[in-house]
Amino acid sequence: MAGHSKWANIQHRKGRQDAARSKLFSKLSKEITVAAKMGDPDPEKNPRLRLAVKEAKSQSVPKDVIERAIKKSTAGEGDDYEEIRYEGYGPGGVAVIVEAMTDNRNRTASSVRSTFAKNGGNLGETGSVGFMFERKGEVTYPADAGDADTVMMAAIEAGAEDVDSSDDGHIIYCADTDLHAVSQALEAELGESQSTKLIWKPTTTTELDLEGMQKLMKLMDALDDDDDVQRVTVNFEASDEVMEQL
């Protein structure tokens, strides 16, 4: 999973420098509004909303923007969004999962299919690549949260399944249904996490060279630019040399 972890770090650094920060804020706000509409507007009583708010805070979304997104749900404002997952293949045969929220299924499907086609990919049927991923909880901590052994012990005590520690920090994985309990136990031991969320974790990966990685990044950037797309997950693997060149 080294390549997957490094991709997350690349995306994070890229996001910090991205002038279109408001687009990210908009997507995070949409998730908060939908989560609040589907359950209780109180994050303490709504697990999905709690995760959405935490993720927004980890991306430096202002408090007033978060509160406004929650109020939209209680005031009955905003469109009714439908959640859709698309699956397909990117350059080099990499598996791609696209999670979207839309008020127009036809528009989104057409846009996603076109983006795949224009960037060396191919949109498949539901389930065409999903078997290559597992739904997991992911909790991330900075490197200074503790050394690898300390974090590993805390993760084991919390009921986590796996830990990926590197110079960039610690990524802790758990069963999706255990995310709330594991994250609470970890925070009691290690302090507040950087991020706590549900992810699609690859169970198998596809190796890419530099050209393949460049093409994949182009596809992912194009998908991220779509206002209806919330998250994009891929199962690539790349050597340290290739990652350094990127």
Superfamily in which the 2-74 domain is placed by CATH: Integrase, N-terminal zinc-binding domain (1.10.10.200)
pLDDT at 2: 44
pLDDT digits (tens, 9 = 90+) for 197-239: 999 999 999 998 889 899 999 999 999 999 999 999 999 988 8
In words, the CATH class of domain 82-127+204-240 is alpha beta
pLDDT digits (tens, 9 = 90+) for 148-201: 999 999 999 999 999 999 999 999 999 999 999 999 999 999 998 988 999 999
Under CATH, which architecture does the 132-202 domain have? Answer: 2-Layer Sandwich (3.30)
In the predicted structure, residue 75 carries a pLDDT above the cut 90: no
Residues of the chain with CATH 1.10.10.200: 2-74
Residues of the chain with CATH 3.30.70.980: 82-127+204-240, 132-202
Q: Are strands 236-237 and 206-207 parallel, antiparallel or unpaired?
A: parallel
pLDDT at 246: 73
DSSP state of 226: S
CB 194 within 8 A of CB 140: yes
pLDDT at 9: 55
Sign of the CA dihedral running 229, 233, 234, 237 = positive
